[in-house]
Chain A
Amino acid sequence: QVQLVQSGAEVKKPGASVKVSCKASGYTFTSYGISWVRQAPGQGLEWMGWISGHNGNTNYVQKVQGRATMTTDTSTSTAYMELRSLRSDDTAVYYCARFLATSGTRYYYLDVWGKGTTVTVSS
């Protein structure tokens, strides 16, 4: 079945970097993109950006532009999200979710989600 399996929880110090992985299975990875969404404790959902599994194009929200890098490894159907210069307000659950990347904007809804990766930033 279609699933996204994310890497385990991380604890980092302020200023460090974290790289979260999201391994896809059950579908053609290059036909879809992966979006990253985070949720701080007790808060709502915040969209961070996306990467196309089709051509590697990326789009980031301005808030994380320059600190976040989204990549894919099509040979293993895995997407990665690296966040640098971590701050305490980066503490959150980070979700990856897929969207159909090859048929236009109308299909960019997030239909399959990973279970989330908890990233804690604390000194």
Chain B
Amino acid sequence: EIVLTQSPGTLSLSPGERATLSCRASQSVSSSCLAWYQQKPGQAPRLLIYGASSRATGIPDRFSGSGSGTDFTLTISRLEPEDFAVYYCQQYGSSPWTFGQGTKVEIK
């Protein structure tokens, strides 16, 4: 099983700042089969990034993903008020699919 470790656990930033979230895998994620999701309280997760770096439909270009192998990054270039949420990475390249434990981006 591929274990995904996200860091930091919580990121305290102000609107307009840049957010950098990390997701490290215990073994290589095949074919960059890594996604990022955003979840707000009381809501279902929303797909942001798939294939490590492709933005999902309707996702603003301030969200970007990068990385390969075992190290992946989600960057939010300038935080908007609606971006404060919990972010999860997920690998879907090998079974069982697994999620990271999440990074909470909170308002400083």
Contacts and interface: CB of A to CB of B under 8 A. Distances in A.
A105 B30 contact: yes
A62 B97 CA distance: 11
Interface string B63-104: 000000000000000000000000010101101111111100
Contacts of A110: 35, 37, 45, 47, 90, 92
Interface of B: 30-31, 33, 35, 37, 39, 43-47, 50-51, 56-57, 88, 90, 92-93, 95-102
A95 interface: yes
Given A44-B101, A111-B56, A115-B44, A106 B33 contact: yes
A114 interface: yes
Contacts of A61: 96
A9 B20 CA distance: 36
Interface of A: 35, 37, 44-47, 50, 59, 61-62, 95, 97, 99, 105-106, 108-111, 113-116
Contacts of B33: 105-106, 108-109
Contacts of A50: 97
B58 to A, nearest CB: 11
Given A109-B50, A110-B35, A45 B90 contact: yes
